[in-house]
């Protein structure tokens, strides 16, 4: 496993990291013990960065992750969770709720310290509230030594500069972007120089586009329009036709970007995590990559967006 610095946070994170949303049944109903074995396998294989949220499975992901981490030395892994989102359409970024939420997450995760605490999916929030109320509440937790670094997450790219440019340097230590640096969409690259200039660590998620680039395909709730689903399906089918695994290529592609500190992958299967770690240890097949990028070219950087109207990216279709 290789490790990269997470911006200027002082943390060194494994290039492949563990996203715990599947522990909350995001993709299928899981067997908790299998989920716990997956986390332990990830740690054994050198993955040191774990991401969860009270939103995943209405706290189930944090609870199962907390069980998986029982007895594991706290300084052997870097833990990220989130505040502000609590079930479908249920957002509360008030100072009181995010402070209480942090304490509840700590209790479920069996710790009193969170390395990276994110505001979860701020495209659904009033960004003035994030700037004037949420972040100041989280800064208090950081000043009290309960949180290492603060982050923001979301799907539209425009939310990142909209917040970062209005906060004091050092407030935001990391960003978590998803579906915007993968085989079919590399638009995150446009923000990388600005993040680097401010020492902000870049966490990439959903290298498979939340399942678009997997043989199982996107789950029913996936927000992509049919054109993107069909375009990605073509790439999956191309890989199948030449005996290649699209998930492998998707992960290799994401982790090879030197400016992206880590790529989260979600799974509740020990077998998948073993495969994923093995995949990224292999050199990428440049010929296959070129072919697949060619298949994806008609939908490259076509996107889907969500959130409050003022926080949405323009749609490219």
- Residues lying near ligand NAD in the complex (CB under 6 A): 19-21, 27, 51, 120-121, 153, 176, 178, 205-208, 210-211, 214, 216, 247, 264-267, 272, 275-276
Closest separation in Å from C-beta 110 to ligand NAD = 18
* Dihedral (CA of 218, 224, 226, 227) sign: negative
For strands 16-19 and 3-5, give the pairing.
unpaired
CB of 90 to ligand NAD, least distance (A): 14
**Could you give the CA distance from residue 187 to residue 192 in angstroms, rounded to a whole number?**
10
Give the span between the Cα atoms of 58 and 61, in whole angstroms.
8
In the complex with ligand NAD, the residue whose CB is nearer, 9 or 38, is 38
Closest to ligand NAD by CB, 9 or 61: 61
> Tokens for 30?
């899981």
**Cα atoms in the 13 Å half-sphere on the side-chain side of 269:** 7
Nearer to ligand NAD, 9 or 267 (CB): 267
Q: Which CB sits closer to ligand NAD, 59 or 208?
A: 208
Distance CA 275, CA 257 (A): 20
Measure the CA–CA gap between 62 and 217, rounded to whole angstroms: 26
Residue number with CB closer to ligand NAD (59 or 247): 247
Q: How far is the CB of 12 from ligand NAD (least distance, A)?
A: 19
Specify whether 56 is catalytic.
yes
Set 18, 56, 86, 181: catalytic member: 56
Nearer to ligand NAD, 20 or 143 (CB): 20
Residue among 312, 203, 308 nearest 261 (CA): 203
**What's the CA gap between 181 and 160, in Å, rounded?**
15
User: Distance between CA atoms of 226 and 223, rounded to whole angstroms?
Assistant: 9
In residues, how long is the chain?
317
CB of 264 to ligand NAD, least distance (A): 4
Cβ(77)–Cβ(69) below 8 Å? yes
Least Å distance, CB 160 to ligand NAD, is 12
Helix intervals (H) in 32-121: 32-44, 60-69, 95-109
Cβ at position 276, least distance to ligand NAD in Å: 5
User: Which residue numbers are catalytic?
Assistant: 56
């Amino acid at each position: 496993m290789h490790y990269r610095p997470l911006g200027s946070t002082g943390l060194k994170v494994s290039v492949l990291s563990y996203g715990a949303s599947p522990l909350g049944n995001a993709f299928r109903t899981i067997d908790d013990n299998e989920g716990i074995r997956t986390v332990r396998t990830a740690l054994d294989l050198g993955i040191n960065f774990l991401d969860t949220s009270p939103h995943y499975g209405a706290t189930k992901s944090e609870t199962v992750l907390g069980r998986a981490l029982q007895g594991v030395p706290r300084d052997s892994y870097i833990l990220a969770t989130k505040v502000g989102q609590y079930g479908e359409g249920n957002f509360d970024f008030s100072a009181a709720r995010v402070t209480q939420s942090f304490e509840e997450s700590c209790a479920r995760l069996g710790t009193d310290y969170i390395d990276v605490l994110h505001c979860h999916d701020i495209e659904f929030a009033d960004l003035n509230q994030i700037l004037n109320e949420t972040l100041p509440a989280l800064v208090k937790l950081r000043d009290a030594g309960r949180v290492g670094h603060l982050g923001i997450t979301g799907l539209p790219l425009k939310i990142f500069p909209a917040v970062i440019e209005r906060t004091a340097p050092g407030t935001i230590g990391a960003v978590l972007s998803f579906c915007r640096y993968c085989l079919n969409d590399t638009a995150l690259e446009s923000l990388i120089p600005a993040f680097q200039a401010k020492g902000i660590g870049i966490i990439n998620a959903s290298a498979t586009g939340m399942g678009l680039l997997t043989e199982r395909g996107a789950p029913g709730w996936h927000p992509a329009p049919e054109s993107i689903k069909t375009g990605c399906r073509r790439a999956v089918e191309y890989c199948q036709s030449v005996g290649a695994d699209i998930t492998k290529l998707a992960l290799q592609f994401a982790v090879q970007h030197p400016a992206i500190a880590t790529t989260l992958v979600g799974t509740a299967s020990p077998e998948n995590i073993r495969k994923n770690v093995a995949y990224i240890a292999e050199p990428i097949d440049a010929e296959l990559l070129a072919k697949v990028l060619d298949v994806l070219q008609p939908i490259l950087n076509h996107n889907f967006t969500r959130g409050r109207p003022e926080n949405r990216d323009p749609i490219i279709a």
